[in-house]
């Protein structure tokens, strides 16, 4: 399911995205205007194209995958806005986070693909190493290459956390809001993977197996993940109304997804081999899932220890607007306290 239309080169658009994200990171918040940042990114891409770095025009592929990605992004945004107001985050700020997450997610997902497919990514069809310019053009061609979700989640999440830290917004409280929405988006996005034929499963004789490449019956691992993500989203979205501490929803969502992804990777037929700390052989995404789980547990231990030692910090962590267990933090303005960054 795809339609090809003449448009600006995907590589040109990729350069514009990278330039925009770099400028958004460097520009002080007081001067940052997203329309200006995006305009500057377009100018940078135009300059690069003028010197022959990337082509001006090309073919843009409109696929079921891209439509599913757009639907996923819109759905995640729509479920976020009402609850963002409850915790004191205005819609304009949500839009800022959405733009940062979108740009960082695309760039990070492309970088993840480069890392996972290296060194093959850095070679041409004849097996020769690509020149730096050709390599950069290939990396910028987000329309013609693959994406790795974990790469996008990591870079997009880090950039959102950086913006939140700059604006003195409680990061854990924000994570409780955004991560379930991201899980919803991922679940819908996997429908696009199913339509695109990527992220396919291993051969299977189960009744619900689907026809894969070459007509072989395979596990519909994309749809498995859609179902798992929708269930995880529903659980965490309900739990948000009953949470007791800042950060607990984010922790449950990340641990739940890491566990599920580790299992589902075992059914995938397109995986890349890796290892966990060089000790146990597994797929790249299985290793990343374990690293993610360890990071969440370690960070959780640090946060819990700090709260146990600091009653004021513990009281602040019980500030969970919208929850049946909400305890207002006395004499604290949301987003205006230094400990909130923890």
Q: For residue range 204-220, what is the model confidence (pLDDT) as tens digits?
A: 999 999 988 778 899 99
Q: What is the dihedral of CA 276, 277, 280, 283, to 10 degrees?
A: 30
Last residue of a domain, one of 149, 169, 189: 169
DSSP letters along 92-116, please?
HHHHHHHHHHHHHHHHHHHHHHHHH
Q: CA-based diameter of the chain, in Å? A: 67
- Contact (Cβ atoms closer than 8 angstroms) between residue 167 and residue 47: no
Pairing relationship of beta strands 273-276 and 280-283 according to DSSP bridges: antiparallel
What pLDDT, on a 0 to 100 scale, did the predictor assign at position 282?
Answer: 87
**Rounded mean pLDDT of the chain?**
83
Q: Name the most confidently modeled range: 187-196, 295-304, 313-322.
A: 295-304
Assess if residue 200 is contained within a domain: no
Query: How large is the average pLDDT for residues 2-29?
Result: 69
- The answer to whether residues 165 and 228 belong to one domain is no
Domain tally, the chain: 2
pTM, to two decimals: 0.78
Eight-state DSSP code of residue 328: P
pLDDT for the residue 340? 39
Average pLDDT over residues 316-323: 87
pLDDT digits (tens, 9 = 90+) for 129-187: 777 777 777 776 665 667 788 888 999 999 999 999 988 999 999 999 999 999 999 99
Q: Quick check: 172 and 136 in contact, CB under 8 A?
A: no
136 with 231, same domain: the answer is no
Query: 253-283, pLDDT tens digit by residue?
Result: 999 999 999 999 999 988 777 777 777 888 8
Q: What is the dihedral of CA 24, 247, 112, 185, to 10 degrees?
A: -90
Give the DSSP letter string of 143-192: TTS---HHHHHHHHHHHHHHHHHHTT--HHHHHHHHHHHHHHHHHHHHHH
Domain presence at residue 187: no
Q: What six digits make up the tokens of 155?
A: 């870079």
CB within 8 Å of 190: residues ≥ 6 apart: 68, 199, 222, 223, 225, 226, 229
Examine residue 13 and state whether it is found in any structural domain, yes or no. Answer: yes
Query: Is there a single domain that holds both residue 245 and residue 303?
Result: yes
Calpha distance 227→233 (Å, rounded):
10
Domain coverage including residue 296: 208-342
The two structure tokens encoding residue 72 = 């996923």
H-helix or E-strand containing 58? strand 57-63
Residue, of 58 and 310, whose pLDDT is higher: 310
Instruction: Supply the pLDDT for residue 175.
Output: 96
How many CB atoms sit inside 10 A of residue 157's CB? 20
Are residues 301 and 155 part of one domain? no
Query: CA triplet 144, 195, 187: central angle to 5 degrees?
Result: 100
Mean per-residue pLDDT, 237-263: 95
Kind and range of the H or E element at 276? strand 273-276
**Per-residue model confidence as pLDDT tens digits over 82-131:** 999 999 999 888 988 988 888 888 888 888 888 877 777 777 777 777 77
Pair 147, 240 in one domain: no
pLDDT at residue 334, rounded to an integer = 43
Same domain, 4 and 72: yes
| 298, pLDDT greater than 80 | yes
Q: Which of 26-35, 194-203, 228-237 has the lowest mean pLDDT?
A: 26-35
Do 238 and 148 share a domain, yes or no? Answer: no
* Mean pLDDT, residues 44-58: 78
Do 163 and 229 belong to one domain?
Answer: no
End-to-end Cα, the chain, rounded Å: 45
Instruction: Give residue for tokens 């891209």.
Output: 66
Domain shared by 152 and 265, yes or no: no
Distance, in Å, from the CA atom of 75 to the CA atom of 238, rounded to the nearest integer, reads 17
Query: What pLDDT score was predicted for residue 323?
Result: 85
Do both 4 and 101 map to the same domain?
Answer: yes
| 27 and 140 both lie in a single domain | yes
Among 50-59, 148-157, 326-335, the minimum mean pLDDT is found in 326-335
Residues 160 and 212 in one domain: no
Helix axes 91-117, 34-50, angle to 10 degrees: 30
Question: What's the confidence (pLDDT) of residue 70?
Answer: 84
Higher pLDDT, 305 or 15: 305
What was the pLDDT predicted at 179?
96
Does residue 26 have a pLDDT over 80?
A: no
Q: What percentage of the chain exceeds 70 in pLDDT?
A: 87
């Amino acid at each position: 399911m795809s339609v090809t239309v003449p448009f600006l080169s995907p590589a040109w658009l990729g350069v514009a995205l990278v330039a925009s994200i770099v400028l958004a990171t460097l520009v002080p918040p007081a001067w940052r205007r997203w329309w200006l940042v995006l305009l500057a990114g377009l100018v940078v891409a135009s300059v690069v194209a003028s010197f022959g770095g990337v082509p001006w025009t090309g073919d843009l592929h409109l696929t079921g995958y891209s439509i599913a990605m757009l639907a996923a992004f819109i759905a995640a945004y729509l479920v976020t806005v009402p609850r963002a107001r409850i915790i004191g985050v205005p819609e304009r700020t949500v839009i800022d986070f959405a733009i940062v997450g979108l740009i960082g997610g695309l760039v990070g997902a492309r970088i993840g693909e480069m890392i996972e497919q290296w060194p093959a990514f850095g070679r041409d069809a004849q097996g020769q190493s690509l020149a730096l310019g050709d390599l950069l053009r290939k990396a910028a061609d987000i329309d013609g290459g693959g994406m790795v979700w974990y790469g996008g989640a990591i870079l997009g999440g880090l950039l959102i956390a950086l913006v939140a830290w700059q604006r003195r917004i409680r990061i854990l409280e924000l994570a409780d809001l955004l991560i379930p929405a991201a899980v919803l988006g991922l679940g819908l996005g996997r429908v696009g993977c199913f339509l695109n034929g990527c992220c396919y499963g291993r051969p299977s004789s189960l009744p619900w197996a689907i026809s894969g490449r070459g007509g072989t019956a395979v596990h519909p691992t994309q749809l498995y993940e859609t179902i798992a993500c929708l269930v995880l989203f529903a659980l965490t979205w309900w739990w948000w109304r009953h949470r007791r501490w800042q950060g607990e929803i984010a922790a449950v969502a990340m641990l739940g997804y890491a566990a599920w992804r580790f299992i589902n990777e075992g059914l995938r037929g397109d995986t890349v081999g890796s290892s966990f700390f060089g000790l146990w052989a597994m797929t790249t995404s299985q290793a990343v899932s374990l690293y993610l789980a360890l990071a969440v547990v370690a960070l959780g231990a640090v946060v819990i220890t700090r709260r146990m030692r600091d009653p004021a910090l513990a009281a602040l962590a019980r500030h969970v607007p919208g929850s049946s267990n909400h305890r207002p933090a006395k004499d604290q303005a949301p987003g205006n306290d230094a400990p909130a960054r923890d």
